[in-house]
Amino acid sequence: MSNSSSAVSQLKNIPLVGINLGSVANAGQIVPGEAGTHYQWPNRGTITTWFKNRGVRLIRFPFELQRAIQLSTLDGLPGQGANLNTDFVKRWKEMLGWIREDSNGEARIIPDPHHYMRLHRYETDANGNLTGRILPAAEAGNQNGWKATESVLIKDGNGVSGTFWSAVHLANFHQKLVTECDDPMVLGWGLGNEPYSNTTVGAKDYITFPALEALYISTMNTVLQALRNSSKKPVFICGLEFASARNWATVSANLQSKIVDPANPIVWEAHAYGDYDKSSSGA
The pLDDT score that the predictor gives to residue 282 is: 52
The per-residue pLDDT of the chain, averaged, comes to: 92
CB atoms within 10 A of CB 67: 24
The string of pLDDT tens digits covering residues 155-185 is 999 999 888 999 999 999 999 999 999 999 9
Under 8 Å between Cβ of 42 and 60: no
How many Cα atoms sit within 13 Å of 82 on the Cβ side?
21
Residues whose CB falls within 8 Å of the CB of residue 207, separated by 6 or more in sequence, listed in order: 153, 197, 198, 199, 215
Cis peptide preceding 136, ω within 30 of 0: no
Q: How far is CA 105 from the centre of its chain?
A: 24
Under 8 Å between Cβ of 40 and 95: no
The string of pLDDT tens digits covering residues 182-222 is 999 999 999 999 999 999 999 999 999 999 999 999 999 99
The predicted model gives 87-104 an average pLDDT of 98
Q: What percent of the chain has pLDDT over 90?
A: 87
The pLDDT score that the predictor gives to residue 1 is: 42
Domains of the chain, first to last: 18-207 (3.20.20.80)
The pLDDT score that the predictor gives to residue 8 is: 35
Cis peptide preceding 113, ω within 30 of 0: no
Helix axes 209-227, 167-181, angle to 10 degrees: 40
The pLDDT score that the predictor gives to residue 155 is: 96
Residue 5 has pLDDT above 60, yes or no: no
Classify residue 65 by its DSSP letter.
G
The string of pLDDT tens digits covering residues 20-48 is 999 999 999 999 999 999 999 999 999 99
